[in-house]
Structure 1
């Protein structure tokens, strides 16, 4: 038995390299909460991108649930953590906290066993497709161009995504101009995705979809709010009608963050929010039951081991904001050159080592 001695968390706030924004939000810093769980002199590490309150929640409410338990019994620990947050509510801060701890627990278990997570999970593939993601609405044309050129022409990533829906859909002309710019920069052979982050109304999104035909957009993420099920259905039905009429040269996929087989073409999963790796595999199984592929949302290096073990995976979002932090704060971050990334198989756990000294100036709690 490998008894858990200690669990804790620390929050860090990292400034963005330039202002970032999407259809409904703007920010100039990103907070990462790092959780650690220790047993038998070995430490597992997990993290999430969440309010600093998630670190306090781990220390004050969840750490005691793990103390004294067997580190190998992750299903029992996951259930206990979820019972513990009954009155706090499962989504939000509590969900972020459980997710970070679950990742730390799986990393700890693999390290105790002396195996990489990819071996513990079992690989479905050695390398995982990625897409470059960023293109924030706050970027000017030169910043957008530089980022796209880096992904496509330097790293040879064959699929990219930019943000649209600027200022809650109030700048549609600029949205379309930026889509056109992106297509010119990346050329005709690279897949182009867009994400409105729920910034549009249904009719705005339908008009945008029609106007983007000529630019070959093949993924329109959250065209309206993910809470607007009626609006999502209207947008989907409109586009499907146009596809059936031959208006598009290829299928358009409208991705939401809900697993409703009649509403989505792919399930987007975020292990930093949905319960860590345990939540990831549960969600991917639900998707598989509906014959749906899954795509990893943000936190690319965290997702790599689980994504490599997922048969119905489409790709990972190589999100600029999080990748920048992970590459700077962890030894062992992956390289997406060629549009494929590989989880580490030469070190135990997820193979990433957190650079505490480098992160210390950014510590907020």
Structure 2
């Protein structure tokens, strides 16, 4: 079995006006797992330091431990890798495992000549897409970009503005675009609990679908519960195991749960998390960094289909760039419906490489 981490620099598709974070969101890390002439693809979100190199090194170190294992049993391999790397924490290690696990599932479905989402039987789930925008210089740019996105057909938009201009951006959005479009905001953990409660009370009148990760740390469930009592809260991209999701469900801390298949360990733990959310009738909104990686997006859709849950899918406000990917799917501004084998998508090699790595500490 061969496991190869492949860094890429597929550029973020520019909007009008041009968004910020173009360089930061133009880095990807894919994982290619092959046996003989067959192969599967996975994706890792290199969140820590925005450093693909950090995660790629961990992926390389995983390969020797998989020699002789049955590639048809991703769950057994996941358990071995988790025990092998366990040190009480998660972060980059569980992120690296994510890419390997997704690739193994892709390969398993390809060997079976099935679409991965149908590997446990056909499910026709409602997988609704929304446009997730990068950050803009000011609220005037936010509104111009949002109007263009709405005109292209999107009916749901998420903003990533600072804690200082999010409220004004929301106000202007509702005044100029109206209430016929679902609107969400991601605060990127920028507030303390007092600031977040004040914000929640102020923004309540604008009928947001959710406020995402309003506070630091992002897994402070007791504080998230307080905010969720005022406005719908979404979180989960920074929950790195099943038990944190279980705790959040029991506490009723969230309205929308956001597992990220490229961060939480791949499809194997995601399926367990989805089973928990389905049994408790919780709403699922997969997190995906809205760049042009796309493997994680298709893996999220497959997970929803495999588990039989309706879900929202976070995507960039553009189509799959065909110069970088082969894919088989029906894609509109509202839905993505894969219909190939495996994940129904794979990168076209050779991929463009990222620019010289810059360490990203934190965005507020």
Same fold (TM over 0.5): yes
Worse overlay, 267-276 or 255-264:
255-264
- Equivalent pair of 1:46/1:103 in contact (CA under 8 Å): yes
- Equivalent pair of 1:268/1:295 in contact (CA under 8 Å): yes
Secondary structure class of the residue paired with 2:119: helix
In structure 2, the residue matched to 1:217 is 208
- Equivalent pair of 2:329/2:344 in contact (CA under 8 Å): no
**Number of residues paired by the alignment?**
329
In structure 2, the residue matched to 1:149 is 147
- Equivalent pair of 2:284/2:311 in contact (CA under 8 Å): yes
- How far apart, CA to CA, are the structure 1 residues paired with 2:69 and 2:355? 29
1:139-178 CA-to-partner distances (Å, cap 9, x unmatched) read 3345423432343221x222211124x1xx4x2xx22221
In structure 2, the residue matched to 1:351 is 344
Worse overlay, 78-87 or 301-310:
301-310
Unmatched tracts of structure 2, length 5 or more: 237-243, 289-295, 358-364
- Equivalent pair of 2:126/2:311 in contact (CA under 8 Å): no
In structure 1, the residue matched to 2:293 is none
Worse overlay, 100-109 or 179-188:
179-188
Give 1:309 deviation, angstroms: 3.1
In structure 1, the residue matched to 2:240 is none
- How far apart, CA to CA, are the structure 2 residues paired with 1:303 and 1:283? 12
Name the larger-Rg structure.
Answer: 1
In structure 2, the residue matched to 1:245 is none
> Aligned runs of 1:92-111 on 2, under 5 Å?
92-111=91-110
Secondary structure class of the residue paired with 1:208: helix
1:190-227 CA-to-partner distances (Å, cap 9, x unmatched) read 11111112111222222222222332212111222223
The partner residue of 2:158 within 158, 161, 184 is: 161
Secondary structure class of the residue paired with 1:342: strand
- How far apart, CA to CA, are the structure 1 residues paired with 2:19 and 2:134? 11
- How far apart, CA to CA, are the structure 2 residues paired with 1:362 and 1:100? 18
1:60-116 CA-to-partner distances (Å, cap 9, x unmatched) read x211122222211222111111122124x5511111111000110011111111111
In structure 2, the residue matched to 1:128 is 127
Q: Evaluate the alpha carbon distance shift between residue 311 and residue 185 of structure 1 in structure 2; reply closer, same or farther with a 3 A threshold.
A: farther
> Aligned runs of 1:1-365 on 2, under 5 Å?
5-14=1-10, 16=12, 17=14, 20=20, 28-50=24-46, 51-52=51-52, 53-59=54-60, 61-87=61-87, 90-125=89-124, 127-136=126-135, 138-141=136-139, 143-154=141-152, 156-164=153-161, 166=162, 169=163, 171=164, 174-225=165-216, 226-237=218-229, 239=230, 252-257=231-236, 258-259=244-245, 260-261=248-249, 262=251, 263-298=253-288, 299-320=296-317, 329-332=324-327, 336-343=331-338, 345=339, 347-357=340-350, 359-362=351-354
- How far apart, CA to CA, are the structure 1 residues paired with 2:347 and 2:31? 11
Secondary structure class of the residue paired with 1:199: coil
RMSD (Å), alpha carbons: 2.7
Structure number with higher helix proportion:
1
Secondary structure class of the residue paired with 1:20: coil
Structure number with higher strand proportion:
1
- How far apart, CA to CA, are the structure 2 residues paired with 1:7 and 1:211? 50
- How far apart, CA to CA, are the structure 1 residues paired with 2:19 and 2:356? 20
Give 1:305 deviation, angstroms: 1.5
Secondary structure class of the residue paired with 2:109: helix
Q: Evaluate the alpha carbon distance shift between residue 185 and residue 341 of structure 1 in structure 2; reply closer, same or farther with a 3 A threshold.
A: farther
